[in-house]
Amino acid sequence: MFAAALLATLLAASSPAAAPDDAGEAAVDAVAIAASMRAAFDAEVGQRVDLPADALAARVTLLEAALAGKGIDWHDPQFVVLVDRSPNVQVLLVLLGAPHAGWQLIGAAPVSTGQPGRFEHFRTPLGVFEHSLANPDFRAEGTKNELGIRGYGRKGARVFDFGWVAAPKGWGDHATSVMRLQMHATDPDILEPRLGTAQSKGCIRIPSTLNAFIDGHAILDADYDEALAGGARFWVLREDRQRPPVPGRYLVVVDAEAGERPTWSPLPAALAPPARRR
């Protein structure tokens, strides 16, 4: 349903808009919100990926299947963060979904998911993961480990915590075990230039500017916002946070199983082979 709505939305973007009726009011609002957020994404996120329409539609299909598998229905517009863990893709999409408007792409950026083949390295698990107060977020201290790496990125970067989850081991017997699933920034000098390739122990590493965007625009803060409305207070939330009218709470991880690297998701410059001289 949403994949078809996505294509209809892309076609409608070049046509004059019809006057909305009561049933279509939510669609008009979602499109307007998406346009505003898309402009903010382009202005604020430094590392971006430009997905063609067919690649977007393919990942929307995977998203729909994942949500349906969890029995998640859409009654109100909300944001979703979608990650394609395919080693040849390694991309994150911020999407706004609404029943009457389909899926609106806000923007996409390169990421690093789990790199199997090394001890205590997991494959980032597939599935739908709720961002909730059951696993409170925290902020990076900005300190370096024994290798001189700031694993969570610069001081103050938000770490989005999704709790302990089942995940396939990337070493040994490759049996299912448990890992702490987090989405976070990474060392801006050493590891961020490698985004776009599988590098992590299982968590999802994202660009620092994308981390700030998701944090500052409260993309996944629906649970926090509900608690705030009840009088709760959270030190982890930014004072300048811009709360959207359509909150989100779900991280969805899929795998497009791309057999080769698509041209729209090239290797990062730090890892690309040198150009051959003619």
| Residue range 202-236, pLDDT digits in tens | 999 999 999 999 999 999 999 999 999 999 999 99
Token look-up 């046509």 returns 15
Tens digits of residue pLDDT in 108-157: 999 999 999 999 999 999 999 999 999 999 999 999 998 899 999 999 99
CA distance 90 to 98: 25
- The answer as to whether 6 is a domain residue is yes
Tally of structural domains, the chain: 1
CA distance 149 to 39: 32
Mean pLDDT along residues 196-206 = 96
SS (H, E, C) 191-255: CHHHCCCCCECCCEECCHHHHHHHHHCCCCCHHHHHHHHCCCCCCCCCCCCCCCCCCCCEEEEEC
On average, the pLDDT of the chain sits at 88
Mean pLDDT along residues 75-80 = 84
The CATH number of the domain holding residue 243 is 2.40.440.10
Look up the pTM and report it. 0.88
Q: Report CA-CA distances (Å) from 124 to 61, 127, 140.
A: 20, 10, 21
pLDDT of residue 173: 93
CB neighbourhood size of 26 (10 A): 18
pLDDT of residue 273: 67
Does the pLDDT value for residue 100 go beyond 90? no
- The answer as to whether 263 is a domain residue is no
Does the pLDDT value for residue 54 go beyond 50? yes
- Domain hosting 158: range is 2-13+24-254
- The answer as to whether 104 is a domain residue is yes
- The answer as to whether 272 is a domain residue is no
Tell me the two tokens of residue 255: 């795998």
Mean pLDDT along residues 84-111 = 95
- The answer as to whether 68 is a domain residue is yes
pLDDT of residue 59: 97
Q: When comparing pLDDT for 257 and 5, which is higher?
A: 257
- The answer as to whether 278 is a domain residue is no
Q: When comparing pLDDT for 169 and 26, which is higher?
A: 169
Give the phi and the psi of residue 273 in degrees, each rounded to 5: -65, 150
Does the pLDDT value for residue 187 go beyond 60? yes
CA distance 196 to 204: 11
Q: Of all residues in the chain, what percent carry a pLDDT higher than 70?
A: 87
Does the pLDDT value for residue 6 go beyond 60? no
Tell me the two tokens of residue 192: 């961020």
CB neighbourhood size of 178 (10 A): 13
- The gap from C-alpha 121 to its chain's centroid, in whole angstroms, comes to 21
Mean pLDDT along residues 59-76 = 89
Give 127's contacts (C-beta < 8 A, 6+ positions apart): 66, 70, 165, 252, 253
DSSP tag of 99: T
- The answer as to whether 47 is a domain residue is yes
HSE value, Cβ hemisphere, 13 Å, CA-based, for 92: 30
- The answer as to whether 259 is a domain residue is no
